[in-house]
Amino acid sequence: MKKPLRIVALLLCPALFSLTAFAYCRVPEIKANGEFFKSDLVLTGTVLSERYRDGPGVQDNGGWYYRIRVLQIIKGPILKQFTVYTEDASNRFPLEKGRDYLLFAYRWHGRLEIDGCGNSALLSDAAKSIQQIRSIATTQDGEIEGWLAPETHGVDLSGIHVVIRSRSQVYRALTDKDGYFQFRAPKGSYVVDFSNHEYYLNGGDEFWYGPVRFRLHAGESAALQMVSVRHPKK
C-alpha cells in the first residue's frame, strides 16, 4: 500500500466548478480485502455501453452510466447485467467499452456508484486485489494497520505508541520511521485510544475506517490514519 494521503483545502475559482467537480479521496488508501466489506457489489465484468447524463444542479454535476455484462459475481445479487455510475469528478474512474474490469460498487442515491479512489481496475491489472479477496475465506482473523502522518516534513515518526482497544483486549503497536504500524487482531469492534496525546484526528479528512469506532471482519484489512504531534528537533 502507498503512503497515506492528506487532504489539503484548495481555494478554487468558481469558474473551475463549471468544468468538472473536484472530489477528495478518503484516507488512507484501502486494500481490496477492506473495500470488499464496504462494497454492496463486487464483480468482474465487461463494459457493454456507456452514456453521459447531466446532473440536475450544483450538487450533482452528472456523470457516466455503464452497462456491465457480468463475468463473475464476487459479492452481491446474482444477475447477468448491472448498470454502474461514476461521477463527473476529478477522481473518477473511467471505463472503456469492450474491456473487462474488477469493480467495487456502492448503493448511493438509488444507483450503484464506483469509487474512483478504491480498487476498481482493469481485470488484467487486478491479480493482487483478487488474491486479497480470495484470502478472506481462509483467514481467521483480521489486520489493523495505519499511519501517523506528520504535521511538518522531516520528522522521525518511529517509536510512537499506538493504542487500540476492543471490548476485552488492548492492542499496542510501535510505529516505524515513516509512522507505519500493523498487527493482527480477531474480528470485532475497535476504538483508537487518544489518551496518550501522541496523535490526533485531522478534522478535514474523510476516513475509510473512522478511528473513533470501526469494525473488523475476519480476513479484512482495516487501514487507519491519524496525525502525529511530533515536531522536528531543534
pLDDT class of 84 with cuts at 50, 70, 90: very high
Grid cell of 161 as nine digits:
505508541
Grid cell of 155 as nine digits:
520528522
Residue with cell 474512474: 93
- Average of per-residue pLDDT across 74-78: 98
More confident residue, 18 or 107: 107
The whole-number pLDDT of residue 141 equals: 97
Q: Note whether 32 and 133 are within 8 A (CB).
A: yes
* Shared domain check, 149 and 109: no
The whole-number pLDDT of residue 60 equals: 67
pLDDT class of 59 with cuts at 50, 70, 90: low
Q: Note whether 189 and 166 are within 8 A (CB).
A: yes
* Cα 37 to Cα 39: distance, rounded to the nearest angstrom: 6
**Over the chain, what is the mean pLDDT?**
89
* Cα 202 to Cα 220: distance, rounded to the nearest angstrom: 24
- Burial label for 89, CB within 10 Å (0-12, 13-18, 19+), is middle
Q: How many CB atoms lie within 10 A of CB 44?
A: 17
Taking alpha carbons only, the member of 139, 225, 145 closest to residue 187 is: 139
Residue 233 lies in a domain: no
The whole-number pLDDT of residue 23 equals: 63
* Shared domain check, 196 and 146: yes
How many folded domains does the chain comprise? 2
Q: How many CB atoms lie within 10 A of CB 130?
A: 18
More confident residue, 10 or 221: 221
* Shared domain check, 109 and 178: no
Residue with cell 452528472: 62
pLDDT class of 1 with cuts at 50, 70, 90: very low
The residue among 85, 112, 136 that closes a domain is 136
Taking alpha carbons only, the member of 151, 148, 129, 74 closest to residue 105 is: 74
Residue 232: is its pLDDT beyond 90?
no
Q: Where are the beta strands (DSSP E) in the chain?
A: 41-53, 63-75, 81-87, 100-108, 111-114, 121-122, 142-149, 161-165, 170-174, 180-185, 188-193, 199-200, 214-216, 221-228
Residue 97's domain comprises 14-136
* Shared domain check, 33 and 124: yes
* Shared domain check, 126 and 158: no
Q: pLDDT per residue over 109-124, tens digit each?
A: 899 999 999 999 999 9
CA atoms within 13 A on the CB side of 51: 5
* Shared domain check, 146 and 128: no
The residue among 136, 159, 179 that closes a domain is 136
- Average of per-residue pLDDT across 162-177: 96
Residue 17: is its pLDDT beyond 70?
no
Residue 5 lies in a domain: no
Q: How many residues does the chain have?
A: 234
Distance from the Cα of residue 158 to its chain's centroid: 25
- Average of per-residue pLDDT across 148-171: 95
Q: pLDDT per residue over 32-56, tens digit each?
A: 999 999 999 999 999 999 999 987 7
The residue among 76, 108, 136 that closes a domain is 136
Q: pLDDT per residue over 123-137, tens digit each?
A: 999 999 999 999 999
Share of the chain above pLDDT 70, in %: 88
